[in-house]
Amino acid sequence: MKALVYGGPGQKSWQDVPDPRIVNPTDAIVRIDTTTICGTDLHILKGDVPAVQPGRILGHEGVGTITDVGASVGNLTVGDRVIISCIKSCGHCANCRTGLYSHCLGDEGQSGIGWIFGHLIDGTQAEYVRVPYADNSLHRLPEGVSDEQAVMLSDILPTGFEIGVQYGRVKPGDTVAVIGAGPVGLAAIATAGLYGAAAIIAIDLDENRLEQARTFGATETVISGSGWKEQVLALTDGQGVDVAIEAVGIPQTFEMATRIVRPGGNVANVGVHGKPVELHLEELWIQNINISTGLVNANTTPMLLKLVAQQKLPAEKFATHRFTLDNILDAYDTFSRASETNALKVVIT
Ligand code: NAD
Ligand code: ZN
């Protein structure tokens, strides 16, 4: 088959590789019908994720059709259309039982980042992928949900919801600020709306992203430049927001999140910070501010899928550009120049 193979920092190629095969009885093989590119893939390509070694097939988002199942796969059969969760998880180890799928202990005693596709196991930017623990890692798609909608449920919608909105403990009537209106921040904006947030303030450097934020449910937009903080405070009668969600991943925006939260409010860090972040703990302590962070578990994908099917979540709005798998290198080019191309998610079929 053809696959996008990581060749070390700055290098990738669309090349012939052996077809994946069932290794364990809990595996399934899925033919990729639709995949997409995540900011994390760009981090890997820069060499920021040393755990990913040359030779790895990239990608952790995908929708496809099952072509083979192992002997102990119970819930799925050949021909089923499925969403591939970004993280494979057994569903029954000590960590999975608490919902911490991102720390699945599996049968091999391995945990954490390794279970994300395209990291220590081959990913979804290929014609086929092997999915371990298929019963828990795949979700059958109902009629009426398109591939373009479903592929947003592999990673970005659960990430914005679980690590932004749920960890941030958004409640009805809250004022929520989301810093960074990329796909993940927009997912947080869309899903904060599910909880009846009274106001959702999107903050970004990029005007186009702020325009997008309005279509996902932001009630206010603030350009991340001089006077940004005064604008946010003015929107909250000087009180600060109830919840600030950081969806960029740089020290500056984490700091911003901590500066606009009301006493007793919540800062939910979603961004992946390659660098240490300074924590002025005493100032947070005196304000009784809660801080949360974490890796997505994608344990809410089935619930979010129901909302997408009922048209309560506009998953289709993330797709801005379309390519075929053979042109995946062009898709990378468009995605990596998002500030010029206005790309949100590039959909590859
Ligand atoms: P993205 O790069 O597409 O979007 C980031 C947005 O932040 C852009 O719109 C950019 O204009 C904006 N931005 C940059 N600097 C800013 C500043 N100083 N002030 C305000 N806005 C600024 O990224 P994405 O794909 O939406 O992902 C967001 C973050 O979430 C990344 O760090 C990504 O690695 C992380 N992530 C985390 C998890 C998790 O499990 N926690 C999962 C997936 C992605
Ligand atoms: Zn597990």
Burial of 67 (0-12, 13-18, 19+ CB in 10 A): middle
DSSP state of 160: I
pLDDT number for residue 266: 98
Is the C-beta atom of 271 inside 6 A of ligand 1? yes
Distance of alpha carbon 121 from alpha carbon 137, whole angstroms:
14
DSSP 273-287: -SS-----HHHHHHT
Q: Which ligand is nearest to the CA of 98?
A: 2
CATH of domain 157-293: 3.40.50.720
Return the C-alpha torsion angle 336, 337, 338, 341, nearest 10.
Answer: -140
Burial of 50 (0-12, 13-18, 19+ CB in 10 A): exposed
> 154 CA distance to ligand 2 centroid (A)?
17
pLDDT band for position 49 (cuts 50, 70, 90): confident
Q: For the chain, what percent of residues have pLDDT higher than 90?
A: 92
Reported as a single tens digit per residue, the pLDDT across 80-122 is 999 999 999 999 999 999 999 999 988 655 556 668 999 989 9
Mean residue pLDDT across the chain: 95
Ligand 1 and 252: CB distance under 6 A? yes
193-235: pLDDT as tens digits: 999 999 999 999 999 999 999 999 999 999 999 999 999 999 9
pLDDT given for residue 105 in this prediction: 87
Residue nearest atom 9 of ligand 1, based on CA coordinates: 182
pLDDT band for 319, please (50, 70, 90 cuts).
very high
Model-level pTM? 0.96
Distance CA(87)–CA(95), nearest Å, equals 13
Pocket test for ligand 1, best of 165, 248, 299 (most atoms within 8 A of CB): 248
Q: How far apart are the CA of 185 and the centre of ligand 1, in A? A: 7
The ranges of the chain annotated as CATH 3.40.50.720 are 157-293
SS3 345: strand
At 178 the pLDDT is: 98
Query: Could you tell me the CA-to-CA distances from 265 to 43, 174, 282, 287, 346 in Å, in that order?
Result: 31, 10, 15, 8, 35
pLDDT tens readout for residues 146-189: 999 999 999 999 999 999 999 999 999 999 999 999 999 999 99
Query: What is the architecture, at CATH level 2, of domain 2-155+297-348?
Result: Alpha-Beta Complex (3.90)
Residues with CB under 5 A from ligand 2 (ion): 89-90, 93, 96, 104
Q: Is residue 338 predicted with pLDDT exceeding 70?
A: yes
Torsion of CA 332, 124, 296, 245, to 10 degrees: 20
166 CA to centre of ligand 1 in angstroms: 18
Stretch(es) of the chain classified as CATH 3.90.180.10: 2-155+297-348
